[in-house]
Structure 1
Amino acid sequence: MKPIRIGKISFTNILPIYHYFDQRGTQVELIPQVPTQLNRGMAKGEIDMGPISSFAYAETYPDYVLMPDLSISATGPVGSIFLFTRGEELADLHQARIALTNTSASSVALLRILLEKFAGAKPEYVTMDPCLDDMMNRADAALLIGDDALKGLWRNSGYRILDLGQEWYNRTGMSMTYAVWAVRREIAETRTAELEEIFVRFMKAKEKGQRDPRPVIREAMRQLGGDVPFWDRYYDGLSYDLREKEIAGLKAYYRYGAELGLLPPDVQICMLDLPAGLGMR
């Protein structure tokens, strides 16, 4: 039987889940890619499960089910989804030219919700590779996510940096969920026992990452730099749960996205049917 192909976001924000993930004795293959690549891979059937953009799930939700209690979320600042500007607030970008990273889907839609719904803006958008200098040479503001956003933060180029998680919270008072763990429905229907085992291992990895973040922080520093206090604050601001609070914020995001015509109406959040207490083994 072919291994279950599991996507892995190629950013440090995912380390608290994957650093401790134990794939020994399982038929799984980890596929590291940036979010938009994972979205496409899932849609094409090249990846069987893993974290995809919340936006990508909503686009074709009938094809997927979600693993419970796994996400990348934040209530307030997310710490690595930034809009770089020359001093402007969101409300000042009414007719601006905004460069969007080509590595994101959820964050692009989130920015459009913040600008078009809450600020009433109608900016011009251009999608580009995630290079801050090139983006700001062609636009008034630039959206970067993940490690690209952190590199831009550390460069301290003199730009104003707006955290989209904080901007969302300021306007809604809600959590924002950026990625969800999706499973292709055909895999969910045919390989249930394997998915149950994978889920248990993800939950154990998440618990270890929360209990002992020091190895995770060392790996983040090895990959990207920074220091212990930075990574302590960064990971403390992220949630990897998908519970009532995260689902409420996700539903609001989907509702606003549908109002702008970015997403289909009435997106259904469908969870993988797992035995009660399975993740507590």
Structure 2
Amino acid sequence: MSRLRIGQVDYLNCLPVYHALEEGLLSLDAELVKGAPTCLNKLFLQGDLDVTPISSIEYARNMDYCLILPGLSISAKGRVSNTLFFSKLPVTELEGRNVSLAETSAASVVLLKVLFDHYYHVDVQFETLSPELDHMMAWSDGALLTGDDAMLAYQRVKEEHLPYHVTDLGEVWQEFTGEKMVYALWVVRSSDSNDRSDKIAKISNILLESKIMGLNRMPAIIAQARKQTGLPLPVIEDYFATISYDFDESCRRALLVYYDYAYKSGLIDERAKLHVWGESVE
């Protein structure tokens, strides 16, 4: 049996889940593959990863291909600090304008489009560009950035007093729906769920154990995050305080609301159901 390959989003938000594995505090007979969310989505869907965090919208688009691993997500209730929309005008004044989208996050792109359709009721023209604020704003009147790129760009906006409005999409989503936003899920290929069930169970348990260990070692993770990004300590501490890594009933409810709006906007072909590894399929 070949060695399993596990995706790891190369952003700060995954550090608590993978810290114990990277530091050798837990042993795992698998290869860790780092990349941006959209890169890992692609690798998983073409069969080059066995387990990975995947953009929550890509699960909905490929729910017959994968199962959700229990107990893990990247989510936040309201403000999240790494899913930010920068604009030259207030969002409600962007009718008919150009908006650039980072090529790195599928879930946040759909979130922004849903909010434009159902919350702001503003029609704009979208273009996907590399995640660099100056380049994006040279082309457009608004730019979506995610992950570390968003946090670093926001720090620049504050320090250089750049004339941009900054909208936290997690905060707006909560205002609109009252729900948290689930940005990513950990998934396994459905075809592996029987053939490699013992190995999948072991990896699922190790990831959960690693998450718990990481959350108990936050000072070390925060120090690593500061070294990795150069962001101020209060920014990093605040960021990790907003992120949740659980997958509970509130996450399930929030996902179904998100998928319902994505379906209404024509961004997925059907309303998704949540198929979780180890649970019976209704």
Q: TM-score if structure 1 supplies the norm length?
A: 0.94
Equivalent of 2:215 in 204, 210, 214: 210
1:46 aligns with 2:51: no
Residue type matched to 1:52 in 2? I
Equivalent of 2:235 in 230, 236, 260: 230
Do the aligned residues in 2 keep the contact of 1:74 with 1:237 (CA within 8 Å)?
A: yes
1:186 aligns with 2:187: no
State the Cα deviation string for residues 18-44 of structure 1 (Å, max 9, x = none).
111358654311110101111111110
**Shift in Å at residue 11 of structure 1?**
0.8
Which residue number in structure 2 is paired with residue 19 of structure 1?
19
Residue type matched to 1:18 in 2? Y
Residue type matched to 1:95 in 2? G
Residue type matched to 2:120 in 1? A
Return 191-200 or 22-31, whichever deviates more. Answer: 22-31
Which residue number in structure 1 is paired with residue 176 of structure 2?
171
Which residue number in structure 2 is paired with residue 108 of structure 1?
109
Do the aligned residues in 2 keep the contact of 1:174 with 1:249 (CA within 8 Å)?
A: yes
State the Cα deviation string for residues 193-230 of structure 1 (Å, max 9, x = none).
11111112111111122222011101101110123322
Return 188-197 or 126-135, whichever deviates more. Answer: 188-197
Where 1:6 maps in the other structure, the secondary structure is strand
Which residue number in structure 1 is paired with residue 5 of structure 2?
5
TM alignment of 1:46-195, pairs within 5 A:
46-88=48-90, 90-156=91-157, 157-195=162-200
Paired with 1:91 and 1:211, the residues of 2 have a C-alpha distance of 42
**Shift in Å at residue 158 of structure 1?**
3.1
Do the aligned residues in 2 keep the contact of 1:52 with 1:180 (CA within 8 Å)?
A: yes
Q: Between Structure 1 and Structure 2, how many residues are aligned?
A: 274
**Gap regions ≥5 residues in structure 2:** none
**Shift in Å at residue 190 of structure 1?**
1.1
Paired with 1:193 and 1:166, the residues of 2 have a C-alpha distance of 40
**Shift in Å at residue 266 of structure 1?**
2.6
Equivalent of 2:38 in 25, 36, 39: 36
State the Cα deviation string for residues 163-198 of structure 1 (Å, max 9, x = none).
000010111110110000011111222111111111
Residue type matched to 2:187 in 1? A
Q: C-alpha root-mean-square deviation of aligned residues, in Å?
A: 1.5
TM alignment of 1:260-275, pairs within 5 A:
260-273=265-278
Do the aligned residues in 2 keep the contact of 1:2 with 1:27 (CA within 8 Å)?
A: no
Paired with 1:206 and 1:95, the residues of 2 have a C-alpha distance of 44
Where 2:7 maps in the other structure, the secondary structure is strand
